[in-house]
Homo-oligomer: A and B are copies of this chain.
């Protein structure tokens, strides 16, 4: 039987550690890699960085916005990156934050968990249209051994107004997300395949997640102000399920230092988060 996303994530934790590399080919990153801010520059960036990521066989999170910048050609490059990474055994979490009503969510389910060229291991999704509206993507992901990460509490300061608002039943918006994710993981043995996004910058990040089997994607290491050293404190109680993610902090060192910086940061995270 096919392994679930949760099982493959557990295997990756044991083999490489929990660090996730955020693949964000922004204008600044392309400049740091001495490349033009064009789709040809994006292609050259991928040629340069994919071998190091493939060799590590860890977790990589491409950010869709920085591929969409280049329109159809950008998506063609994203498709190529997804193919190379998955063929190498890298676990790919596409950070696209898709969220829509059910019929359109079926379109996104087809796109990222169908038989097409954009197949990913996991996708980030946005619950603004209601957690129930996410069901088509969750169902399709689980059916093919994939996973999702639902936005819950993000790393940016301006997010709390909405994400901590109180729903009619007295629970906060992000607690509704946690409850839905716990429900979707009911049948998981070990680590679940349905995770949450909780910013590494939040000091009480684990509250309400202790009883869940949800993996916790934690962006914000590096440029957004969190260091790996905060993880044991911010994620106490769920530390063995945390995926700390670093994007600009890693990529901005440029092509000469990237592989060594990746090795060092990965080791630091593995040491801090002993499984």
Contact = CB atoms under 8 A, between A and B. Distances in A.
Interface of A: 24, 26-27, 63, 65-66, 68-79, 95, 97-108, 110-111, 114, 116-118, 126-133, 151, 154-156, 158-168, 172-173, 176, 248
A232 B267 CA distance: 62
B97 A100 contact: yes
Contacts of A103: 24, 26, 248
B165 A166 contact: yes
Given A65-B98, A97-B126, A165-B165, 9 more contacts: A65-B107, A65-B111, A70-B111, A97-B98, A128-B159, A130-B158, A132-B158, A166-B166, A173-B173
A161 B167 contact: yes
Contacts of A173: 162, 165, 173
A130 B101 contact: no
Nearest to A104: B65
Nearest to A163: B128
Contacts of A163: 128, 130
A107 B162 contact: no
Nearest to A65: B107
Nearest to A83: B71
Nearest to A165: B165
A25 to B, nearest CB: 9
A128 B164 CA distance: 11
A152 to B, nearest CB: 10
Given A133-B158, A162-B176, A72 B79 contact: yes
A111 B71 contact: yes
